[in-house]
């Protein structure tokens, strides 16, 4: 299967344009969450930037597959992938539920992160985490809407979880206001948001972390039958990561290989 299927009458491209999925005929639509998570993903002067997005653009160029990247609220972006209104999505972690509608391939891992528990420094010594989820019983836990923090945590219905935050900034404000006692999030993203909010000196990361490694993927749509395209991107992404261009990209954003 070719990356972009066309018939003599251009049926595939016509369908894409009809559903508003692409900016120009024949381009793949890659969706992403509509926030900023430097150095991974952001929009600068109206253009997608950051390690994830520039990696995807470089690989698509090497494959000769044109694409556009658009930002949407996270739950909408997920729905678009699920319903076949988008070809791929960035910044997605892997769960059994998401594997029902998306192709996750190891070569398409964009980056890896840790998931941690954040508290106010004023609560140090009063709140703790043993590493067992049951030790979090009795605490009000804040999470971001639509985010996954690993299936064990996601499925822990015995925990008091509030997913009312749209992003890490809102989540930290909930923590500061006392609406939750513990904020759950990707460590790097939470620290960046805390710095931007001037809260770095007011929050602490509990030890141990909830998860030492959480891979974030470029995921292709099963509704679009993009298994072969996902495979081609996976192989090209592996090759790209061996090139000096990739190391230069990491240095550009101050990230070590």
Report the C-alpha gap between 188 and 176 in whole angstroms: 19
Least confidently predicted of 26-30, 114-118, 139-143:
26-30
Q: Provide the b/e sequence for 136-147 (b: ≥16 CB within 10 Å).
A: beebbbbbbeeb
% of the chain residues with pLDDT over 70: 90
pLDDT in tens, 233-242: 999 999 999 9
Question: What pLDDT score does 26 carry?
Answer: 80
Asked if pLDDT for residue 19 goes beyond 90, the answer is: no
Asked if pLDDT for residue 17 goes beyond 60, the answer is: no
Question: What pLDDT score does 230 carry?
Answer: 98
Question: What pLDDT score does 257 carry?
Answer: 72
Domains and CATH numbers, the chain: 11-111+215-252 (3.40.190.10), 113-213 (3.40.190.10)
Instruction: Give the global pTM.
Output: 0.86
What radius of gyration, in Å, describes the C-alpha atoms of the chain?
Answer: 19
Structure token digits, residue 42:
């952001």
Average pLDDT of the segment spanning 176-188:
97
Average pLDDT of the segment spanning 118-135:
96
Average pLDDT of the segment spanning 198-227:
97
Question: What pLDDT score does 93 carry?
Answer: 97
Question: What pLDDT score does 256 carry?
Answer: 81
Asked if pLDDT for residue 249 goes beyond 60, the answer is: yes
How far lies 214's CA from each of 63, 93, 158, 197, in Å?
A: 27, 7, 23, 25
Could you give the angle at the alpha carbon of 94 between the alpha carbons of 90 and 96, nearest 5°? 135
109 beta partners = 217
Average pLDDT of the segment spanning 43-70:
96
């Amino acid at each position: 299967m070719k990356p972009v299927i066309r018939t003599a009458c251009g049926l595939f491209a016509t369908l894409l344009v009809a559903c508003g999925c692409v900016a120009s005929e024949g381009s793949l639509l890659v969706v992403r969450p509509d926030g900023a998570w430097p150095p991974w993903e952001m929009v600068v002067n109206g253009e997608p930037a950051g390690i994830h997005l520039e990696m995807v653009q470089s690989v698509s160029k090497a494959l000769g597959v044109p694409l556009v990247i658009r930002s949407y609220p996270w739950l909408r972006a997920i729905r678009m992938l699920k319903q076949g209104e988008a070809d791929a999505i960035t910044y997605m972690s892997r769960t059994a539920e998401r594997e029902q509608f998306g192709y996750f391939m190891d070569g398409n891992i964009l980056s890896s992160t840790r998931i941690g528990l954040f508290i106010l420094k004023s609560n140090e010594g009063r709140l703790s985490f043993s590493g067992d989820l049951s030790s979090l019983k009795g605490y009000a836990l804040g999470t971001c809407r639509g985010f996954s923090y690993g299936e064990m945590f996601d499925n822990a219905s015995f925990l008091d979880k509030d997913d009312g935050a749209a992003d890490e900034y809102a989540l930290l404000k909930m923590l500061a206001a006392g609406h939750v006692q513990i904020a759950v999030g990707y460590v790097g993203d939470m620290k960046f948001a805390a710095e931007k909010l001037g809260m770095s000196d007011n929050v602490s990361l509990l030890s141990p972390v909830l998860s030492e490694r959480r891979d974030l993927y470029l995921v292709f749509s099963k509704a679009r039958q993009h298994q072969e395209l996902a495979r081609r991107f996976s192989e090209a992404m592996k090759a790209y990561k061996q090139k000096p261009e990739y190391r230069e990209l990491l240095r550009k954003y101050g990230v070590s290989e």
